[in-house]
Amino acid sequence: MRASPSDLVITAFAPIVWGSTYLITTQFLPADRPLLAATIRALPAGLVLMLATRTVLRGSWWFKAAALGALNIGLFFFLLFFTAYELPGGVAALVMSIQPLFVLLLGAVLLGEKIRAAHILACAVGALGIGLLVLRSEAALTAVGILAGLVGALSMATGIVLTKRWGRPPGVGLLGFTGVQLAMGGVMLLPVALVAEGLPQELSSLNLAGFAFLSIVGALLAYVVWFRGIERLPALAVSFLGFLSPLVATFLGFAFLGESLTPLQLAGAVLVLASVLFAQRSPTTLKRENPQKASLR
C-alpha cells in the first residue's frame, strides 16, 4: 500500500500540533500538573464528540474501545509524563523513538505486514536523528525511567496496530469513535491526576487558554486526523510521523524560548525528516484488512 500524499499531510497535522505541547505546558499551564493537563486535554474533547455524535457502543466493542482508550490515551499519557519526570527530555524522546520498531514487529504479527530491511534502516536513522536532535551531554539514565519509556512506546504502538486491525464499530463514525477513545482515556487519567496532583487553587485566563488549546486543537482536532490516518495509511507510515513531534518541539523552543540550535541538532533534524520520508516511500504489503473498515472509506 502506497501512502497518499494528501493523507500524509493531513495526518502529519497531529504530531506537529503535539510538538507544541511542551511550549504550551511551560508557558500557559499551571506548574507541576502534567497529569491534570493530560486529563483536561482528553476528557472534555471526548465527551463533546460522543454527545455530538450520540455514539453508543454495543457488545464487545465496549472492551475493545476501553483497550484502545488505554493504549492510545490513558496508559500512554501516564507513562509519557512519568518518563518525562524520570528522564531528561532528550533521553525520554530517544527511548520513545523505538515505537516504529514495535509497530513493525506487531504489524507483522497482527496485520500480516512484511518486515523489510528498508523499514529497519528507517527506524535506525530516525532514532539517530532524534538522538542528535534532543540529547545533551549531561543526560542521565534511570532504569525505571527507561522501562516506563519502553512500555509507553509499546502502548502507543499496540494502539496504532489494534486500531488498524479492528477498525470501527458498526454504525459508528470517525468522530464518535475518536470521542469514545478520548473519553475513556480521560476517565482513566482523572482519578490518578486528582490523587497525585490535585486541582490548582486558581486558574488565570492564560491557563484557561492553554487548556482550551490542548483540548480543542491538541486532542479533538489532532486525534480525529490521527485516527483517520491510521485507517487510511499503513501502520508503520503513521508511526514514523510521530518523529515530527520532537522536531517541532525543538524548533519552537529555538523560536520562542531562546533555546540553542546547534549544527548537530540541525543534522539530526535532517535525519528525522529523511527517515519519515523514506518510511512513506517504502512499500508495505497488507495481507489482511478489516472489510468493514474498507467499506467505510
> Total domain count for the chain?
1
- Residue 112 is assigned to a structural domain of this protein: yes
The answer to whether 148 touches 92, Cβ cutoff 8 Å, is no
Q: Would you say residue 32 lies in a domain? A: yes
Give mean pLDDT, residues 48-56. Answer: 95
What lies within 8 Å, CB to CB, of 271 at 6+ separation is 125, 126, 128, 129, 132
Is residue 290 domain-resident? no
Enter the C-alpha cell of residue 73: 490515551
Helices (H) then strands (E): counts for the chain: 16, 0
Displacement of CA 40 from its chain's centroid (Å)? 16
43: in domain: yes
CA–CA dist 150, 97 (Å, integer): 9
Tell me which amino acid residue 116 is: R
Q: Give the separation between CA 128 and CA 123, rounded to whole angstroms.
A: 9
User: Range with the lowest mean pLDDT among 102-116, 197-211, 252-266?
Assistant: 252-266
Q: What is the pLDDT of residues 268-281, one digit of tens each?
A: 999 999 999 888 77
pLDDT at 234 over 60: yes
Q: Is residue 180 part of a domain?
A: yes
Domain contains 294: no
Sign of CA dihedral 203, 205, 206, 211: positive
Q: What is the span of the domain harbouring residue 167?
A: 5-283
Residue 95 to residue 84: CA distance in whole angstroms: 11
Q: How sure is the predictor about 175, in pLDDT bands with cuts at 50, 70 and 90?
A: very high
- Report the pLDDT averaged over residues 237-261: 89
Q: Would you give the DSSP letter of residue 288?
A: -
Residue 118 lies in a domain: yes
Residue 295, domain member (yes or no)? no
Q: What is the mean pLDDT of residues 81-92?
A: 76
pLDDT of residue 86: 80
**% of the chain exceeding 90 in pLDDT:** 63
Average pLDDT over every residue of 156-171: 95
Give the rounded distance of the alpha carbon of 137 from its chain centre. 27
Question: Per mean pLDDT, which range of 45-54, 111-120, 177-186, 211-220 is the poorest?
Answer: 111-120
| pLDDT number for residue 285 | 37
| Tens digits of residue pLDDT in 106-146 | 999 999 988 888 889 999 999 999 989 887 756 567 888 88
Side-chain-facing half-sphere of 203: CA atoms under 13 Å: 14
Residue recorded with cell 480521560: 186
| DSSP helix/strand/coil, 151 | helix
The reported pTM is 0.88
Crossing angle between the packed helical segments 34-53 and 174-196, to the nearest 10 degrees: 150
The pLDDT of residue 76 is: 92
Q: SS3 of 29, please?
A: coil
